[in-house]
């Protein structure tokens, strides 16, 4: 929890600082050596491509799943 005035300052639109780029909000579903294909049907040509998809941790999302995880002894 933070002060509302601080929370407001932490929400920044990508378009506010990416003034020399284009924000695309769609999963990438295909990549060739020249272009990226997005789920919404666009093709984006690139010179250099950085893939930074992170990774999906299989962490328990709700109370029931967390309790099950403790019972399995994953955290000692």
Using CB under 6 A, list all residues that contact ligand FAD.
Answer: 27-28, 52-54, 57
Query: Shortest approach of ligand FAD to residue 71 CB, angstroms?
Result: 21
- Are residues 72 and 62 in contact, defined by beta-carbon separation less than 8 angstroms? no
Rounded-to-integer distance, Cα 5 and Cα 14, Å: 19
23: enclosing H helix or E strand:
none
Query: Shortest approach of ligand FAD to residue 29 CB, angstroms?
Result: 7
Query: Shortest approach of ligand FAD to residue 54 CB, angstroms?
Result: 2
By beta-carbon proximity to ligand FAD, the closer residue of 11 and 52 is 52
């Amino acid at each position: 929890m933070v002060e509302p005035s601080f929370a407001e300052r932490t929400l920044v639109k990508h378009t506010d600082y990416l003034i020399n780029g284009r924000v695309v909000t769609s999963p990438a579903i295909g990549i060739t050596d020249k272009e990226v294909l997005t789920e919404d049907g666009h093709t984006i040509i690139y010179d250099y491509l950085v893939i930074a998809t992170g990774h999906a941790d299989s962490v328990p999302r709700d109370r029931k799943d967390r309790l099950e995880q403790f019972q399995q002894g994953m955290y000692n």
